[in-house]
């Protein structure tokens, strides 16, 4: 008798369906860039004397709350449970990826301290080049893609790296003498960790897992690692005093984490539908959005020299061109068949039902009846909302020069992307 896992994935997905999934993935990549970049805004207004590790920990608490409540809101936790029953081994991968994220994020703090954002940012942005490498080596991405697509993806990623370098130099800070090497190593280390973190991402999505399920366990690794790091570096009592002393700004940090999760969710869908070789560079456009917030809303770079403005304009154009090149190099039917081979390999190795993997690759639900919201979902939603309201009630807006008109304009642009991409995801895949 034939095993469930031997159900063939080899028959190609219809070309029209493939095109709409690829377009959706590209859209998600751009939406991810906007929301990941926008997450910097609430953090920028926090100018109190809080240590970077504590800032990171509080953000991760907001991230944790968002990562459990958003899936509950969209499809319900019963959907997550039924997804995990199909591929339980992916919990380990999700937790592992979360641990990697937390360590990389902490490393960036050291990198910024030692060499400044100007050098550190482009260095850790090399994660997209590593993502392309792992995607090609382990998951058959860009196989049989043709030289034009190779040129589009690799050339686009290199152009984005160049653009990122120019943008970062425009918002430069000074390196601490004698610490430059350490800072460069820290930034590269963060890039390697983030770039390798995409292996679990791709693994999960090739095996059929839903991004909503992946992130709920990803965040367990994130919060556990960040808590251990904060406790060991700060100590429990000093950490507690620091958090208590910063009560008035905790909301903004947690809100930054919440916004970040929305961006990351789009990034996960991009990784699922266009692969890590394309999804990761596209979501790296977050640097452009961060700059937009900085210049328009927070009046950064005001009174800068002509050279600075030239770097900003040149860097932005390069990044945008790189992103467009990648967006136009979506996978062909032949390349997608290679992805299906990789998915079949995963399915066989972990005895995942072929129909489940196939349904996921086509952006369909495997089981129709498992997304009903339960009492636990509503409890989660009300609980998280109540926590955010409580912290908002304690919050004070620090004295920062903010252009509210531009803040509203950029926020509306982000919301439009959220609604547009959300509707598209629902119509095309029902968030599967």
Is residue 297 within 8 A of residue 40, CB to CB? The reply is: no
Nearer to another protein by Cβ, of 3 and 172: the residue is 3
CB of 48 vs another protein, minimal distance in Å: 22
- Nearest partner of 233 among 429, 52, 418, 423, judged by Cα: 52
CB of 349 vs another protein, minimal distance in Å: 6
Nearer to another protein by Cβ, of 73 and 233: the residue is 233
Nearer to another protein by Cβ, of 277 and 329: the residue is 277
Distances (CA, A) of 336 to 16, 186, 276, 395, 411: 13, 36, 13, 49, 36
| Residue 406 burial (C-beta neighbours within 10 Å; 0-12, 13-18, 19+) | middle
CB of 264 vs another protein, minimal distance in Å: 18
CB of 7 vs another protein, minimal distance in Å: 11
CA dihedral 53, 93, 211, 39 (to 10 degrees): 10
CB of 273 vs another protein, minimal distance in Å: 20
The per-residue b/e assignment along 280-293, b for 16 or more CB within 10 angstroms, e otherwise, is bbbbbbbbbbbbbb
Chain length of the chain: 432
Nearer to another protein by Cβ, of 5 and 424: the residue is 5
CB of 110 vs another protein, minimal distance in Å: 5
Distance, CA of 293 to CA of 287 (rounded, Å): 10
**Sign of the CA dihedral 336, 338, 344, 349?**
negative
Nearer to another protein by Cβ, of 81 and 307: the residue is 81
- Nearest partner of 196 among 131, 142, 137, judged by Cα: 131
| Residue 121 burial (C-beta neighbours within 10 Å; 0-12, 13-18, 19+) | buried
Is residue 25 within 8 A of residue 269, CB to CB? The reply is: yes
Nearer to another protein by Cβ, of 193 and 337: the residue is 193
Which residues bind to another protein, rule: CB under 8 A? Answer: 1-6, 88-89, 92-93, 96-97, 99-100, 103-104, 106-107, 110, 138, 182, 185-186, 189, 192-193, 196-197, 199-200, 203, 229, 233, 348-351, 353
Distance, CA of 162 to CA of 97 (rounded, Å): 27
What are the φ and ψ backbone dihedral angles of 288, each rounded to 5 degrees?
-65, -45
CB of 205 vs another protein, minimal distance in Å: 13
Nearer to another protein by Cβ, of 73 and 350: the residue is 350
Distance, CA of 74 to CA of 181 (rounded, Å): 45
Residue spans of alpha helices (H) in 39-178: 40-44, 52-74, 77-86, 90-124, 127-139, 147-150, 156-170
CB of 95 vs another protein, minimal distance in Å: 11
Instruction: Report which DSSP code applies to 4.
Output: G
Nearer to another protein by Cβ, of 127 and 316: the residue is 127
CB of 141 vs another protein, minimal distance in Å: 14
Nearer to another protein by Cβ, of 2 and 401: the residue is 2
């Amino acid at each position: 008798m034939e095993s469930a896992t031997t159900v063939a994935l080899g028959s190609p997905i219809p070309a029209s369906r493939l095109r709409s999934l690829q377009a959706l993935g590209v859209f998600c990549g751009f939406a991810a860039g906007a929301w990941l970049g926008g997450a910097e805004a609430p953090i920028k207004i926090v100018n109190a004397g809080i240590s970077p590790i504590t800032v990171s920990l509080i953000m991760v608490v907001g991230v944790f709350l968002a990562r459990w409540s958003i899936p509950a809101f969209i499809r319900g936790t019963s959907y997550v449970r039924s997804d995990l029953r199909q591929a339980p081994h992916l919990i380990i991968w999700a937790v592992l990826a979360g641990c990697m994220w937390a360590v990389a994020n902490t490393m960036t703090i050291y990198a910024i301290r030692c060499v400044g954002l100007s050098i550190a940012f482009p260095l850790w942005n090399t994660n997209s080049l590593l993502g392309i490498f792992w995607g090609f080596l382990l998951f058959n991405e860009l196989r049989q893609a043709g030289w034009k697509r190779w040129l589009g993806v690799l050339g686009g990623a290199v152009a984005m790296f160049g653009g990122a370098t120019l943008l970062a130099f425009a918002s430069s800070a000074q390196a601490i003498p004698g610490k430059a090497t350490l800072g460069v190593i820290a930034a590269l280390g963060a890039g390697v960790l983030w770039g390798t973190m995409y292996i679990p991402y791709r693994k999960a999505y090739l095996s059929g897992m839903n991004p909503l399920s992946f992130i709920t366990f990803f965040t367990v690794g994130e919060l556990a690692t960040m808590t251990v790091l904060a406790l060991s570096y700060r100590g429990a009592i000093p950490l507690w005093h620091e958090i208590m002393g910063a009560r008035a700004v905790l909301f903004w940090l947690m809100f930054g984490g919440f916004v970040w999760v929305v961006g990351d969710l789009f990034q996960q869908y991009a990784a699922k539908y266009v692969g890590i070789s394309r999804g990761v560079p596209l979501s790296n456009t977050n640097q452009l959005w961060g700059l937009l917030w900085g210049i328009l809303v927070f009046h950064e770079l005001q009174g800068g020299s002509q050279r600075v403005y030239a770097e900003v304009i040149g860097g932005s154009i390069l990044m945008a061109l790189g992103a467009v090149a990648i967006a136009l190099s979506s996978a062909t039917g032949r390349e997608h068949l290679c992805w299906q081979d990789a998915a079949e390999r995963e399915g066989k190795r972990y005895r995942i039902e072929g129909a489940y993997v196939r349904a996921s690759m086509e952006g369909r639900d495997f089981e129709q009846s498992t997304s009903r919201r339960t009492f636990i979902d509503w409890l989660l939603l009300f609980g998280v909302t109540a926590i955010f309201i409580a912290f908002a009630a304690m919050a004070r807006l620090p004295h920062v020069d903010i252009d509210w008109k531009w803040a509203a304009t950029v926020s509306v642009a982000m919301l439009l992307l959220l609604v547009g991409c959300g509707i598209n995801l629902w119509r095309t895949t029902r968030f599967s």
